[in-house]
A and B are shown apart, each in its own frame.
Chain A
Amino acid sequence: MNAENKLKVAIATLLILGMSASSAMAAATTGTAEASVEEQISISISKELRFGELLQDNFGGTVTLKPGPSNNTTFSGVKPVIGSQFGSQSALFIVSGDANRAFTTTVDPSVDLTGPDGSAPMNATLTNASDGVLDAFQNANVFIGGTLTVGGNQTIGAYTGTYNVTVDY
């Protein structure tokens, strides 16, 4: 082979070597890509909190409702209307989300119930009894009760207030 052809062959060889050089140095393996999708937590009202119908009197008193399915209520000073169709009941909220997952429950510490024009509001402190963990069917209950303070000669009428409940993983 003459010199010019040897040079061509050399250049061609170098070029080929150059193109395959990166393949000879490469190393390959596999990695795993992961993602998980979880159920958002959600909460909805099932029963509203009711302290019931209370008889007006000169001294007032308190109504204490223990949160839970049995609507356990004690009256101090103030008396309920015995034959009432609107008795006391705990609020019940239904929580949905990831099965078997724990969650926290936060409730306003108290709520003011406002009544007819000119009446003084009645304050209720709030307590909650939360399952704290979703069951295998992705559900949990949160019961809300509390203690309502009724004033002496509290103005006759209907009283209502709004409070916040938050659940979170």
Chain B
Amino acid sequence: MNTKNRLKVAIAVLLMLGMSASSAMAASTTGKAEASVVEQISIFQLTELSFGTMLQSNTGGTISLTPKGDATSSGVQLVSGTQRAVFLVIGDFNRAYTTTLDPSVDLIGPVGATPMNATLTNDNDGVFFQGEGVPILGIDELFIGGTLTVGRNQIPGVYSGTYNVTVDY
């Protein structure tokens, strides 16, 4: 091959090397994209809170009911049973949850009666038990008690009020 042709081949090779050089120079890697879908937390009432039936008292007094269901009364005589509130909480078994409860509730009675106020307490620890099924759900029970203040000569009748309870992750 003569010199001129040798030069042409050399240039062609260099050009080819030059053109492929940038692809050989590129760098690639992979990344992971992640997300997770989580059970919504939900709450259902199973049993209502009740301070029971009591006799009218000319001193007034209190009825205390623990979240465990133990009742004591002072100044007022209980005639029939108290009952703690029971709620069912369902959510992600692997997760802890928080509980927010109104601090108290007014129970409204017959027309003209003074409302009776009850402070409210709960003692659940915010940890689920493992439920069955797929996906595995978390289940917990939430108990509410409180202390009802009964006035002197509280007007006889049925008293009731509504309170809020919220659970969240």
Query: Could you list which residues of chain A lie within 8 angstroms of chain B, going by C-beta atoms?
Result: 40-45, 48-57, 63, 81-84, 86, 91, 93, 95, 111, 113, 115-116, 122, 124, 126, 144, 146, 148, 150, 154-169
Q: Closest residue to A78 on the B side, CB-wise?
A: B37
Q: How many A-B residue pairs have CB under 8 A?
A: 128
Main secondary structure of the interface of B (DSSP, over half): strand
C-alpha spacing A84/B25, complex, angstroms: 41
List residues 71-102 of chain B with CB under 8 A from any CB of chain A: 92, 95, 98
Which 9 A-B residue pairs are closest in the complex by CB-CB distance?
A: A168-B26, A51-B35, A166-B28, A156-B135, A158-B36, A49-B33, A161-B33, A50-B34, A48-B32
B: number of interface residues (CB 8 Å): 24
A51 contact set on B, CB distance < 8 A: 33-35
CB within 8 Å of A: which residues of B? Answer: 22-23, 25-40, 92, 95, 98, 135, 168-169
Chain B, Cβ-Cβ closest to A160: B34
Write the nearest CB–CB distance from A130 to chain B, whole angstroms: 13
- With both chains docked as a complex, state the minimum distance between the C-beta of B36 and any C-beta of chain A, in angstroms: 5
Q: Which residues of B contact A163 (CB under 8 A)?
A: 30-31, 33
**Is there contact, CB below 8 Å, between A169 and B25?**
yes
A54–B28 contact, CB under 8 A? no
A48 — which chain B residues lie within 8 A by C-beta? 31-34
Q: Can you list 29 A-B contacts with CB-CB less than 8 angstroms, sorted by A residue number? A: A40-B25, A40-B27, A45-B31, A50-B33, A50-B34, A54-B35, A54-B38, A56-B37, A57-B40, A63-B35, A86-B36, A91-B31, A91-B33, A93-B29, A148-B35, A155-B135, A156-B38, A156-B39, A158-B34, A158-B35, A160-B35, A162-B32, A163-B30, A164-B29, A164-B30, A165-B30, A166-B26, A167-B27, A168-B27
